[in-house]
Structure 1
Amino acid sequence: MPKFRKKPVEIEAIQFTGDNVDEIWDAFGAAGIYGPTEKNPDHLILTTVHGDEAPARPGDWVIPDGKPGTFYPCKPDIFAATYEPVNEETCGPECSEMHTETGRCEIARNR
């Protein structure tokens, strides 16, 4: 049976610390991100792509969900297992591989 690998997808995300709501609003805009409030002093409320509300607690990652003003929270352990930091530099137009932490991709290493 053939096997398939999920294509890598780059995302933007900010980890909510409990004190950085202004940073999140500056990056993504305030639409769809509410709180903390007196009723919910320890978390944000995110509007999801389905129109529901989802809480983002300190430590959770806030991730835009494609449609403007919609987001989803991601627990830190799931985020760490799913995503890795991206080094945005590439070797050049012939290279679609992102650089490794050493600063060299496979194409550069074989030059």
Structure 2
Amino acid sequence: MARYRKRPIEIEAVQWTGDNEAELIAFTGHRFEAVPPQDRAEDPEITAQVFDELHSTWVGVFTGQHVIRGVKGEYYPIAEDVLAETYEAVTD
């Protein structure tokens, strides 16, 4: 088994509050949209979705998750506790 350590890179993220769709649309370049309640049959907890260009698919986003812009310009959701364990705030 090989072991790896994540390289120290900076990312940008915006938290989805359920009320800031315009902010996330601007952040993702129109690759984000809220999901209306009637369209949540698969998972009623998913309140939005973001397009993951690396995998050419829409990914569900739960209220409270952050949407990250990755190193290749891709967007994906991450839970707040995972964000806190994986990243630290940049203060400069």
Q: What's the counterpart of residue 84 of structure 1?
A: 88
2:22 corresponds to 1:18: no
Q: Among residues 64, 71, 83, which one is paired with 2:69 in the alignment?
A: 64
Q: How does 1:85-100 map to 2 (within 5 A)?
A: 85-88=89-92
Q: Which runs of 5+ in 1 are unaligned?
A: 89-111
**4+ aligned runs moved over 3 Å, structure 1:** 3-6, 65-68
Residue 35 of structure 2 corresponds to: 36
Identity in percent: 33
Structure having the larger proportion of residues in strand: 2
TM-score for both structures, normalised by structure 2: 0.74
Bigger radius of gyration: 1
For the aligned residue pairs, the C-alpha RMSD in angstroms reads: 2.4
Unaligned runs of 5+ in 2: none
Cα distance in 2 for residues equivalent to 1:34 and 1:66: 22
| Aligned-partner SS, 2:49 | strand
C-alpha separation in 1, matches of 2:57 and 2:24: 19
Between the two structures, name the one with larger relative contact order (CA 8 Å, sep ≥ 6).
Answer: 2
Q: Are residue 47 (structure 1) and residue 47 (structure 2) matched?
A: no
